[in-house]
Chain A
Amino acid sequence: DVKVTQSSRYLVKRTGEKVFLECVQDMDHENMFWYRQDPGLGLRLIYFSYDVKMKEKGDIPEGYSVSREKKERFSLILESASTNQTSMYLCASSRDTGNTEAFFGQGTRLTVV
């Protein structure tokens, strides 16, 4: 069974902290994505990666960075967490062909206080 695993379901961090959200997939997928989900706004793409060490900005990259040192792992980094980054974060992966769907992790609910 295919699997995308996010390291934490719930996180509480303080304003100004550096936060790492980790995501691992076991399907040998080329593409990996980070989205944030907020009520009424759907899923918004933060960053995506189509190969190791390759990354592209999505629609809302400000305040975030990413790292992909290995094919199976894609990390989202909040350099200095702020309260407006309180949200649900979803990681996904897919094959690099247009007709294939993305597979999602369970999500990390991050609260910045």
Chain B
Amino acid sequence: AQSVTQLGSHVSVSEGALVLLRCNYSSSVPPYLFWYVQYPNQGLQLLLKYTSAATLVKGINGFEAEFKKSETSFHLTKPSAHMSDAAEYFCAVNTLYSSASKIIFGSGTRLSIRP
């Protein structure tokens, strides 16, 4: 079965520092992978998605993620953290079930930004 694992339930970085949020996937077929962000008291918003067109995917708000098949990873990065990046981040994979697809999420990583 396809799944994703997020390493680190809480990550804290200083403003201006590199952000690295880790996600590893388990899949027997090429996966479709996503990163979502959730700001307090809001629903989830798509940051970026991997659909096999390119291994380096750029998303909104300066985030990007690199698909590495050899490491089964899809880590999310941002060169310079901003206070507004404080949120919870979820990695997700789209799995094929029967003739339909369903999306399975990781347990989430809460990102805190120190002034």
A binds B: yes
Please report A residues at the B interface, Cβ cutoff 8 Å.
4, 30-31, 33, 35, 40-45, 48, 50-51, 56, 58, 90, 92, 94, 96-102, 104-107
- Interface segment, B14-22, B40-48, B63-71, B72-80? B40-48
Could you say which interface size class chain B belongs to?
20 to 34
Contact B107 A40 (CB under 8 A): yes
Contact B46 A31 (CB under 8 A): no
In the assembly, what is the distance between CA of A33 and CA of B94, in Å?
13
Whether A43 contacts B90 in the complex (CB less than 8 A), given A96-B100, A99-B51, comes out as yes
Q: Which residues of chain A come closer than 8 Å to B106, judged between CB atoms?
A: 42
- Encoded as 1 (CB less than 8 Å from any A CB) or 0, chain B from 84 to 104 comes to 000000101010111111111
Q: Which residues of chain B come closer than 8 Å to A97, judged between CB atoms?
A: 101
Q: How many A-B residue pairs have CB under 8 A?
A: 72
* 6 shortest interchain CB distances as A-B pairs: A50-B100, A42-B107, A104-B43, A99-B51, A43-B105, A104-B44
Chain B contact residues: over half helix, strand or loop, or mixed? strand
In the assembly, what is the distance between CA of A43 and CA of B88, in Å?
12
Measured CB to CB, the nearest residue on chain A to B30 is A98
Any chain A CB within 8 A of the CB of B49?
Answer: yes
CB distance from B97 to the nearest CB of A (A): 7
Contact A107 B43 (CB under 8 A): yes
A-B contact pairs, 10 of them (CB 8 A): A45-B103, A50-B100, A51-B100, A56-B100, A92-B44, A92-B103, A98-B101, A102-B44, A102-B92, A105-B43
CB distance from B31 to the nearest CB of A (A): 9
Q: Which residues of chain B come closer than 8 Å to A94, judged between CB atoms?
A: 101, 103
Among A50, A99, A104, A106, residue most surrounded by chain B Cβ atoms (within 10 Å): A99
